């Protein structure tokens, strides 16, 4: 199936741009410098090469233009007449002929190509044609097509918008549609092409404009089902008599095509409400439409499907019109295929035998009894098994039917399935007597329980004081005393204020936990709150480094009995040994938290780090940790003009 895609045509430059493109390519692909020492033969070869290369480029470009534009004699007649209507076939052929003539002249006389390249208007005209052809809809002349035609403003575009996804502009004035619009719809899983044509006026063929000739061209060349729209309300500005006259003037274009007359806008005027004269005109149009239907002996297959009524505003009858047009077109295409030679070629490949009766005796088919029994068994086996869903629907549905969980029990008697099983019988639990081996299992459990109790008694060994000597009893008493003291100290340590969490200030919104409140509570108990308040203040401000004597007196005045000289000596010893106590570990020693497993891995990591910065350090590059002193006024930007001389400073 041939597809016409005019969007692939290459852009056609105008005459000036054409010359610039060729000369630019020649300048880039050929030598450009001629020295005065060259021999005359070399100079002649230099210019001959340029001329030949230029001629080849012209020939390739012009050949591309001539080959990409379609030939009117080789394409489908629909597109041939459409291009003639839109662009004037004679002018189109003349422009391509001038391009072909220029190509031949350039090939013959390559030296004078500039003089012969005076084809600027033709190139500009072909470029305009190319741009317009790229905007034409992609119409397949051989596919299933529905063609909509009629007077302007009778509802053609509205009908197309209803049955397809096309978005054709709809306005209350004539000639809103100025070109062909294509949409697609589906019927019986087949894709149909719907074409909306511009309105046609009833006037001589020579007086019709380009817009009307687009519709005439489509009607003349496309094998499609034609929908002739008729506005019976007269709101389009044309009477039924004028629309009937148009129908009779173009009825020759409807031959051998399924034709349906559609009476539109029944929401404004019903078909039964029109005048008798208009009804007669519509009847005559229906009679003409019946003649165009393809059938045996020229008779239509469906008389009622020739004249239909609808309203695109209320969508009444829209789907009916669409289905009727698709069905008529489908039947016509099938009938044409049956009449073609291809079906005869297929029928010649096989033979269908139709036996004829030789007498009046009836001879029913003879099927063996074994086959009938086998079929009966197969039918019984394939009988549908009732599921719980089927039973539920048969017995009242959900909420009424309750599925039985006991019907699949495997019992000796099926009548026992629905029996009620008691839980308590004669004061005993029934489930205790269901298992026949329950007594043996109970004995095993009692035996296992006795063994476990014996093991626990053996593990629970307690020292008895009566079996020990007096010295051992004293040692045991000391151990127990020491143990109780440790337990008491641990409990006291847990109960101190140091182990309690500090209430954050953001949660103490009511100012309940303050030093004033603590001081009042301690004073009420008879204690001095000054030390506790000072300690709370030191905790809140953060601990600082204190090396004064007052600290020693405040912290350990009661605990240590040292004079001033001894305190100063001790503090001096502490200060001298401070740096030594805080010395850094060796570089190869692994510090917890570094993420390295051993010293070898740490040494390797340090080597890699030094190696990574070695190149930057060698080039004296500035690193991210180096101090940066920016130059606010670079000299090369703020110094004056340089005088004539050296530029070594840069």
Judge whether 240 lies within some domain. yes
Q: How far apart are CA 102 and CA 66, in angstroms?
A: 11
88-101 per-position pLDDT tens digit: 888 888 888 888 88
Q: How far apart are CA 146 and CA 138, in angstroms?
A: 15
Specify whether 101 is located in the same domain as 119: yes
**What are 152's two structure tokens?**
């302007």
Query: What's the CATH code of the domain at 294?
Result: 3.40.50.300
Q: How far apart are CA 9 and CA 128, in angstroms?
A: 12
Specify whether 176 is located in the same domain as 94: no
Judge whether 313 lies within some domain. yes
Number of structural domains the chain divides into:
2
Give the other-Cβ count within 10 Å of 225's Cβ.
24
Three-state DSSP class for residue 136:
coil
Judge whether 512 lies within some domain. no
Specify whether 179 is located in the same domain as 237: yes
Q: Check whether 194 has a pLDDT greater than 90.
A: yes
State the pLDDT at residue 550. Answer: 46
| Residues composing the chain | 650
Pair 303, 268: CB distance under 8 Å: no
How confident is residue 114, by pLDDT bands cut at 50, 70 and 90? very low
Q: Check whether 53 has a pLDDT greater than 60.
A: yes
State the pLDDT at residue 113. Answer: 47
Among candidate residues 129, 148, 178, the one where a domain is terminated? 129
Judge whether 613 lies within some domain. no
Alpha helices (runs of H) in 317-405, residue ranges in sequence order? 318-339, 341-347, 369-381, 388-394
Judge whether 562 lies within some domain. no
Please state which of the ranges 46-50, 96-100, 480-484, 604-608 shows the lowest mean pLDDT.
Answer: 46-50
Q: Check whether 298 has a pLDDT greater than 50.
A: no
Q: Check whether 115 has a pLDDT greater than 80.
A: no
Burial (CB count within 10 angstroms: exposed 0-12, middle 13-18, buried 19+), residue 82: buried
State the pLDDT at residue 617. Answer: 76
Specify whether 262 is located in the same domain as 281: yes
Give 96-99 contacts, CB < 8 A, sequence gap 24+.
Answer: 96/66, 96/69, 96/126, 98/122, 99/62, 99/65, 99/66, 99/123, 99/126
State the pLDDT at residue 195. Answer: 92
Specify whether 222 is located in the same domain as 74: no
Q: How far apart are CA 309 and CA 316, in angstroms?
A: 8
State the pLDDT at residue 557. Answer: 46
Specify whether 124 is located in the same domain as 148: no
Specify whether 26 is located in the same domain as 153: no
DSSP string, 233-300: T-TTS--HHHHHHHHHHSGGGGTTS-EEEEEE-TTTS-GGGS-HHHHHHHHHHHHHHHHTS--GGG--
Query: What's the CATH code of the domain at 47?
Result: 1.20.120.1190
Judge whether 25 lies within some domain. yes
Specify whether 92 is located in the same domain as 191: no
344-386 per-position pLDDT tens digit: 777 777 777 777 888 888 888 889 999 999 998 888 877 777 7
240-289 per-position pLDDT tens digit: 888 899 998 888 888 888 899 999 988 888 888 888 888 888 888 888 88
Give 88-95 contacts, CB < 8 A, sequence gap 24+.
Answer: 91/125, 92/129, 94/122, 95/122, 95/125, 95/126
Average pLDDT of span 565-577: 53
Which pTM value belongs to this model? 0.45
Judge whether 496 lies within some domain. no
**H/E/C letters for each residue in 145-160?**
EEEEEECCCCCHHHHH
Place of tokens 């692994």: 590
Among candidate residues 292, 317, 339, the one where a domain is terminated? 339
17-37 per-position pLDDT tens digit: 888 888 888 888 888 888 877
Specify whether 289 is located in the same domain as 307: yes
Specify whether 218 is located in the same domain as 102: no
Q: How far apart are CA 210 and CA 208, in angstroms?
A: 7
Among candidate residues 339, 371, 403, the one where a domain is terminated? 339
State the pLDDT at residue 183. Answer: 92
Specify whether 79 is located in the same domain as 217: no
Q: Which domain holds residue 91?
A: 15-129
420-438 per-position pLDDT tens digit: 777 787 888 777 677 777 7
How confident is residue 336, by pLDDT bands cut at 50, 70 and 90? confident
State the pLDDT at residue 460. Answer: 52
Average pLDDT of span 552-574: 50
Specify whether 319 is located in the same domain as 234: yes
């Amino acid at each position: 199936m041939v597809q016409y895609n005019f969007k692939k045509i290459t852009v056609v430059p105008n005459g000036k741009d054409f010359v610039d493109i060729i000369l630019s390519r020649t300048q880039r692909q050929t030598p450009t410098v001629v020295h005065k020492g060259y021999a005359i033969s070399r100079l002649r070869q230099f210019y001959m090469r340029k001329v030949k290369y230029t001629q080849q480029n012209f020939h390739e470009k012009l050949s591309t233009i001539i080959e990409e534009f379609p030939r009117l004699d080789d394409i489908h007649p629909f597109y041939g007449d459409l291009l003639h209507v839109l662009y004037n076939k004679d002018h189109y052929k003349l422009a391509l002929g001038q391009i072909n003539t220029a190509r031949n002249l350039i090939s013959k006389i390559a030296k004078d190509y500039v003089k012969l390249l005076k084809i600027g208007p033709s190139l500009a005209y072909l470029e305009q044609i190319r741009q317009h052809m790229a905007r034409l809809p992609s119409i397949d002349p051989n596919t299933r097509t529905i063609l909509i035609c009629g007077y302007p403003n009778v509802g053609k575009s509205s009908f197309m918008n209803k049955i397809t996804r096309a978005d054709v502009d709809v306005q209350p004035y004539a000639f809103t549609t100025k070109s062909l619009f294509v949409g697609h719809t589906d019927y019986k899983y087949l894709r149909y092409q719907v074409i909306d044509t511009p309105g046609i006026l009833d006037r001589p063929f020579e007086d019709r404009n380009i817009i009307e000739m687009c519709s005439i061209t489509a009607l003349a060349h496309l094998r499609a089902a034609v929908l002739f729209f008729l506005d019976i309300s007269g709101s389009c500005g044309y009477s039924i008599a004028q629309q009937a006259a148009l129908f009779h003037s173009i009825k020759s274009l409807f031959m051998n095509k399924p034709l349906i007359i559609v009476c539109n806008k029944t929401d404004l005027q019903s078909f039964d409400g029109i005048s008798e004269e208009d009804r007669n005109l519509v009847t005559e149009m229906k009679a003409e439409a019946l003649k165009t239907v393809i059938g045996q002996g020229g008779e239509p297959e469906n008389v009622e499907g020739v004249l239909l009524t609808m309203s695109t505003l209320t969508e009444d009858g829209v789907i009916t019109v669409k289905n009727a047009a698709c069905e008529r077109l489908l039947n016509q295409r099938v009938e044409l295929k049956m009449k073609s030679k291809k079906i005869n070629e297929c029928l010649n490949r096989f033979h269908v035998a139709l036996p004829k009766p030789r007498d009046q005796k009836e001879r029913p088919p003879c099927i063996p009894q074994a086959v009938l029994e086998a079929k009966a068994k197969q039918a019984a086996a394939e009988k549908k098994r009732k599921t719980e869903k089927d039973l539920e629907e048969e017995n009242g549905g959900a909420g009424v039917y309750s599925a039985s969980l006991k019907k699949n029990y495997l019992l000796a008697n099926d009548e026992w399935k629905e029996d009620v099983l008691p839980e308590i019988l004669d004061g005993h639990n029934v489930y205790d007597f269901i298992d026949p081996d329950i007594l043996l299992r109970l004995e095993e459990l009692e035996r296992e329980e006795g063994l476990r109790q014996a093991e626990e008694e053996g593990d629970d060994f307690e020292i008895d004081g009566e079996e020990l000597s007096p010295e051992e009893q004293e040692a045991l008493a000391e151990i127990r005393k020491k143990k109780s003291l440790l337990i008491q100290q641990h409990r006291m340590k847990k109960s101190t204020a140091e182990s309690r969490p500090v209430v954050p200030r953001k949660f103490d919104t009511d100012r309940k936990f303050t030093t004033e409140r603590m001081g009042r509570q301690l004073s009420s108990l008879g204690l001095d709150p000054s030390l506790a308040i000072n300690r709370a203040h030191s905790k809140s401000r953060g601990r600082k480094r204190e090396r004064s004597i007052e600290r020693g007196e405040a912290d350990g005045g009661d605990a240590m009995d040292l004079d001033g000289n001894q305190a100063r000596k001790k503090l001096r010893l502490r200060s001298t040994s401070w740096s030594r106590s805080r010395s850094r570990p060796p570089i190869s020693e692994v510090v917890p938290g570094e993420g390295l497993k051993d010293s070898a891995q740490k040494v390797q990591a340090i080597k890699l780090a030094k190696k990574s910065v070695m190149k930057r350090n060698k080039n004296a590059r500035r690193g991210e940790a180096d101090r940066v002193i920016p130059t606010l006024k670079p000299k090369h930007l703020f110094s004056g003009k340089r005088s004539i001389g050296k530029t070594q400073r840069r």
